[in-house]
Structure 1
Amino acid sequence: VVVVVVVVFVVVDVVVVLVVVVELVDVDVVVVLVVGPVLVVDVVDVLVVDVLAVVVLVVLVVLVVVVVVLVVVVVVLVSVVVVVVVVDVVVVVVVVVVVVVVVVVVVFVVVVVVVVVVVVVVVVVVVVVVVVVVVVVVVVVVVVV
């Protein structure tokens, strides 16, 4: 996204610069501005028109730099916000899953312990009742005989 935005801005600004320069100066000044200061131009051309062209170029370059910096800052901020939100969501999901698993395990353990205790109590009661009945029957049989 950043690359596309930067490329679009650069292309648009290059076109704007070329149009402005062509409007402001004649062909030899455009050649000098594009190719560099190696070529020599008429003194009259350079005096007024080059100053205007350079001012326009500097303003446009500053605007491009400001726009690119703003775009990069916005993209970085959005990326940071997205990463923070995603991390927060993942943390919340992990915490909820851990809590649910712990609750399920605790409930399972409690149910198993209760069932084991109830079974042990029932078995002990049945054994005690059977022993008491057997003792009573033996005592009755011995007394009667």
Structure 2
Amino acid sequence: MVVVVVLVVVVEVVVVVLVEVDEVVVVAVVVVVVVVVVVVVVVVVVVVVLVVVVVVVVVVVVVAAVVVVVVVV
């Protein structure tokens, strides 16, 4: 949700900038927007990967604990 709100605000700013300033500033703003979007996407992907890794590790530990308990008992 936050990413969507940020992207909407950025698009509105870009539209205003496109109307009011020259091409060099427009290109600079577009480059900054693209970089920000790429960084946000990379951060989201990294967080998702970390969450998946943590979940997999927890599942493996739980399964290993259950196997140890079953084998010992």
TM range (shorter): 0.7 to 0.9
Structure 1: stretches of 5+ with no match in the other structure: 1-6, 22-28, 34-39, 98-145
Structure 2: stretches of 5+ with no match in the other structure: none
TM-score (norm 1): 0.41
Q: Which residue of structure 1 aligns with residue 39 of structure 2?
A: 63
Q: Which residue of structure 2 aligns with residue 14 of structure 1?
A: 6
Q: Report 1:1-145 matches (<5 A).
A: 7-8=1-2, 10=3, 14=6, 18=10, 30=13, 32=15, 41=19, 45-97=21-73
Measured against aligned partners, the alpha-carbon deviations of 1:40-97 in whole angstroms (never above 9, x if no partner) come to 846xx24122111101100001101110110011001001100000000000111111
TM-score (norm 2): 0.76
CA deviation after TM superposition for structure 1 residue 31, in Å: 6.5
Change (3 A) 1:57 1:47: same
Q: Which amino acid aligns with 2:15?
A: V
Structure 2 distance, partners of 1:67, 1:41, is: 31
Structure 2 distance, partners of 1:87, 1:52, is: 52
Number of aligned residue pairs: give it. 71
Structure exhibiting the larger radius of gyration computed from Cα positions:
1
The alignment-based identity, stated in percent, is 68
Structure 2 distance, partners of 1:81, 1:31, is: 43
- With a CA cutoff of 8 Å and minimum separation of 6, indicate the structure with the bigger relative contact order: 2
Post-superposition, which runs of at least 4 consecutive aligned residues in structure 1 deviate over 6 A? none
